[in-house]
Amino acid sequence: MPEVGFIGLGRMGSRIARNILKGGFPLVVWNRTREKAEEFAKLGATLSDSPKKVAERCSIVISMLTDPVVTENVLTGTGDMKGASVLDGIQRGKIVVDMSTNHPMISRRIAEKVREKGGDFVEAPVVGGAFIAEQARLTILAAGRQESVEAVSKVLQTTSQKILHVGEIGAASAIKLILNLHLWINMAGFAECVVIASKLGVKPKTLAEVFNNTVFKNYVTEYKSQKIIDDEWSPVATIDLAVKDIKLALEVARDVDVPTFLGSVTKDLYVATAQMGMRDLDVMAVAITYGKLTNEKISKLV
Ligand SMILES: NC(=O)c1ccc[n+]([C@@H]2O[C@H](COP(=O)([O-])OP(=O)(O)OC[C@H]3O[C@@H](n4cnc5c(N)ncnc54)[C@H](OP(=O)(O)O)[C@@H]3O)[C@@H](O)[C@H]2O)c1
């Protein structure tokens, strides 16, 4: 079993790293907040002092970080990680796997730098939240050279039910952003419907039940509706994360001159929700914003 490096032990990363450990791979970890990495030492992982040291030691290095700016910095030292980044520890034959939701152009830039040093890069953003990660049921969108995707697939299989090889570097992050854009628009749409229904005397639970007994059933009506029904807003993914994702998706759409009528309105709704003090609540909290705007008591937070 090769030693696997893992960088970024946040909500998603910690669950993925645990699955890799459970899969029997020796794990070397680094996290900005050291206490989170120390918890992994108790589970048998080795603590490292920097991303550079993780890369020097491991043949496969996985990252799961907040956003493209952080990812580029930790992987290639574009900011305060200069001299201590993964790239600084890369030698021939090593493979860097980024599971974060990244920007296709930044992914390509990282891949180029890693390849210049004789290593290789695989994009591997994930579909599914923390709960799905915990159950090792993520879908992974892999992009990059076939042989490198194959070389890391045994490690990725410890945390996923399916790995889809979608093309060259950039393709996986593009698809991931598009999937998310579709999801956030869908969620905002459902929030709007819930409040209209509530105004007309139909409870969110009844509305969701009807949706879910028709061909209109989807992830939002089946799972995210539960947040509204239970009035429980602990985050699977936060409003802040949605704002980051939508901005990235709109940026990518702008690069290719596609208008984003629905995406732009949805972004404003998420930004407003964050500004109204709900940035750390679950993404479905856009429904609370609709409730507040219309004075409809769909939550105790309205
Ligand atoms: N949450 C979801 O449902 C979900 C689903 C699919 C994909 N994703 C994607 O997965 C990625 C991680 O999301 P998450 O929910 O796990 O986020 P998170 O809980 O906020 O974790 C973010 C990680 O990035 C690290 N980090 C942040 N800023 C840093 C910096 N300046 N330098 C070094 N490390 C830094 C954090 O370190 P600290 O511990 O020190 O803060 C933490 O390890 C994101 O790209 C997200 O879009 C999330």
Q: Taking the CB of residue 199, how many other CB atoms lie within 10 A of it?
A: 12
Q: Ligand 1, from 6, 7, 12: best to mutate by most atoms within 8 Å of Cβ?
A: 12
pLDDT 10s digits, 167-216: 999 999 999 999 999 999 999 999 999 999 999 999 999 999 999 999 99
C-alpha distances out from residue 21 to 27, 29, 114, 298, Å: 6, 11, 25, 42
Q: What is the CATH number of the domain that holds 276?
A: 1.10.1040.10
* Helix ranges restricted to H, the chain: 11-22, 34-42, 51-57, 68-76, 104-116, 130-134, 146-157, 171-199, 204-212, 219, 225-230, 239-255, 261-273, 286-294
Average pLDDT of span 52-75: 98
Answer whether 35 contacts ligand 1 (Cβ < 6 A). no
Q: What is the pLDDT of residue 1?
A: 83
Distance (Å, rounded) from C-alpha 210 to C-alpha 216?
9
CA nearest to 149, candidates 163, 137, 170? 163
* Per-residue model confidence (pLDDT) at position 201: 98
Domain shared by 8 and 149, yes or no: yes
Per-residue model confidence (pLDDT) at position 290:
95
139 Cβ below 6 A of ligand 1: no
| 300 is a domain residue | no
- Give the integer Cα–Cα distance in Å for 87 and 201: 58
Do 158 and 221 reside in the same domain of the chain?
Answer: no
Q: Do 133 and 209 reside in the same domain of the chain?
A: no
> 65 and 34, same structural domain?
yes
Q: Is residue 299 part of a domain?
A: no
Angle at 118 between CA 117 and CA 121, to 5 degrees: 90
Closest-CA residue to 154 (of 166, 140, 143): 140
pLDDT at 122: 98
**Cα separations (Å) of 50 from 15, 80, 168?**
21, 12, 29
pLDDT at position 2:
87
Distance 110 CA to ligand 1 centre (A): 18
Average model confidence (pLDDT) for the chain?
97
Domain final residue pick, 168, 200, 233: 168
For helices 171-199 and 204-212, what crossing angle results, to 10°?
130
If asked whether residues 131 and 203 sit together in one domain, one would say no
- How many domains in the chain? 2
Domain that residue 227 falls in:
174-294
Question: Which CATH number is 29's domain given?
Answer: 3.40.50.720
The answer to whether residue 212 sits within a structural domain is yes
Are 238 and 164 in a shared domain?
Answer: no
85-128 pLDDT tens trace: 999 999 999 999 999 999 999 999 999 999 999 999 999 999 99
CA 70 to mean position of chain CA atoms: 13
One domain for residues 91 and 229: no
Q: Which atom of ligand 1 is nearest to the CA of 100?
A: 45
**Would 302 be classed as within a structural domain?**
no
Would you state the pLDDT for residue 236? Answer: 86
Q: Is residue 30 part of a domain?
A: yes
Q: Kindly report, residue by residue over 273-292, the tens digit of the pLDDT.
A: 999 999 999 999 999 999 99
Structural domain includes residue 257 = yes
pLDDT digits (tens, 9 = 90+) for 243-264: 999 999 999 999 999 999 999 9
